[in-house]
Amino acid sequence: MNLTREIAQLCYEVQFENISDEIQDRVKYLLLDYLGVAIRGAKTESSIPVHRFCSVRQDVPGGVPVIATELRVDAPYAALAMGVAAHSLELDDVVNAASLHPAVSVMSAALAAGYLAKSSGQELIAAIVAGYEVTVKLGIALDPAAHYARGFHPTGTCGTLGAAVAAAKIFKLDPDGITHAMGIAGSQAAGSMEFLADGAYTKRFHAGWSAHSGLIAALLAKEGFTGPQSIIEGRFGFLHAYSGSSDPEKVLAGWGRPYEVMNTSIKPHACCRYKQGAIDCILQIVNDNELLPDDIERVQVSILKAGFALVAEPPDKKMNPSSVVDAQFSMPFGAAVAIVNGSAFLDQYSLENVSSPGIRELMPRVFCTEDPEIEKEFPQKWPAKVEITSKVGKKYFARLEYPKGDPENPLTWNEIISKFASLATTVFSRNVCSDIVTQVRGLENMTEVVELINQLKKP
């Protein structure tokens, strides 16, 4: 059996009755996080043109509601809109070892497919588990640094295949069908990192397009369309085409032990994950020592090599963000906004703060360096280290092994519910938000996920 078919067989075998209570709970935890981000993300400036684009495809038979809107559109376009929304805040979940965001692709496709197929909550849970597993295992096998070096965004590339698997599971495809769905998805996997040049919205588009393309792949496979059965390992397959140092053995290594949903991190800060540990350290120093911006002479931030080009280079660009996307990928901005505002959540990543004189004045005092000491622990850990020097010469240090939100340093269920409420109450009443939390926490008892998705329509 070749690798692609072996993956398909393993995905087929992911059945709800074989999923532990712990894994089920984790899926619901991640789903609630996704929904909060997608609800608030539907209001962003990048989501509005997507909604206009999708609106000409609304009111179709079998149309799927788009979260937090009045739209009801073809399922692949619902997946597109939801994926873009969920990736627009830089608050979506992430798997450190794969350096990608699985929910935005997998859950967007699974929910749209689930509505179409009138799937049960149990079927949705199994589809999400399988979709995450494929997305993350491919990301690890590619070698994230090598994948980035070729200019690819792993959320867009790996997410396309994971979304296809999740949708194929929803449609109850057999191993052959899942194989073909992945094969078709492999011809659509895309996502250029060139958005870093000017803060374009295309990073957000990658998530939506991967969900859209993955769902189309599963729909085509369902109708008998074929894809190459060696799409993962073949001479011109995914691993060879998208990386110069991929390792096929890593795809199956540790499969399901535990499932990758258990290795998925939640973001407490609205920015690139490579900044988040440093922001945790900065907030710890500032809060513990009651430091004010005017007290600070220098902020020294150690950045992991894998993320240095994303958040620290080129220095002139990172010191002069011109958009919210630029700011989300600027460590100097992230450090300054955390010091000035005492937080780095959604409200802090605004155009107003991008041009704020107080933040701009502090940014040149932030210095980013690579650090061999923290590099030794990566990627098993994502350590962060910060040193702040005051204007009177006093030095303050902070270091952590795992950023807040990592499985080893997790947000509690109450913290996830609080994060969800802070985002979702921008669209829905607190009573509706409470109902959504209840539905998600009882997902395994839901006869049709249509019930949940209908609750997510804009009132």
Report the share of the chain in percent with pLDDT over 70. 100
pLDDT of residue 60: 76
Domain match, 341 and 283 both: yes
Residue 112 placed within a domain: yes
CATH of the domain at 233: 1.10.4100.10
User: If you write DSSP's letter for every residue of 307-353 in order, what string do you get?
Assistant: HHHHHT-SHHHHHS--SHHHHHT-HHHHHHHHHHHS--SGGGSSHHH
CA 249 vs CA 138, 140, 254, 292: distances in Å: 10, 10, 10, 50
Half-sphere exposure of 353 (CA within 13 A, CB side): 26
Its domain, for residue 104, covers 3-267+418-455
Domain match, 193 and 127 both: yes
Residue 413 placed within a domain: no
- pLDDT tens digits, one per residue of 206-262: 999 999 999 999 999 999 999 999 999 999 999 999 999 999 999 999 999 999 999
Q: Who's near 272: CB < 8 A, 6+ residues apart?
A: 90, 307, 310, 311, 328, 329
Helix, strand, or coil (residue 302): strand
Domain match, 260 and 279 both: no
CATH of the domain at 369: 3.30.1330.120
Domain tally for the chain?
2
pLDDT greater than 70 at residue 18: yes
Domain match, 225 and 324 both: no
pLDDT of residue 1: 60
Domain match, 124 and 223 both: yes
Domain match, 305 and 234 both: no
Domain match, 13 and 124 both: yes
Domain match, 45 and 192 both: yes
Residue 104 placed within a domain: yes
pLDDT of residue 387: 98
Domain match, 136 and 244 both: yes
Domain match, 288 and 244 both: no
Helix axes 175-186, 202-222, angle to 10 degrees: 140
pLDDT of residue 403: 96
**Three-point CA angle 115, 116, 122, nearest 5°:** 50
Domain match, 280 and 325 both: yes
Q: How confident is the model at residue 377 (pLDDT cuts 50, 70, 90)?
A: confident
Residue 260 placed within a domain: yes
Strand ordering across the sheet containing 384-390:
366-370, 296-303, 384-390, 395-400
Domain match, 100 and 178 both: yes
- pLDDT tens digits, one per residue of 67-113: 999 999 999 999 999 999 999 999 999 999 999 999 999 999 999 99
pLDDT greater than 80 at residue 58: no
Q: What is the pTM of this model?
A: 0.94
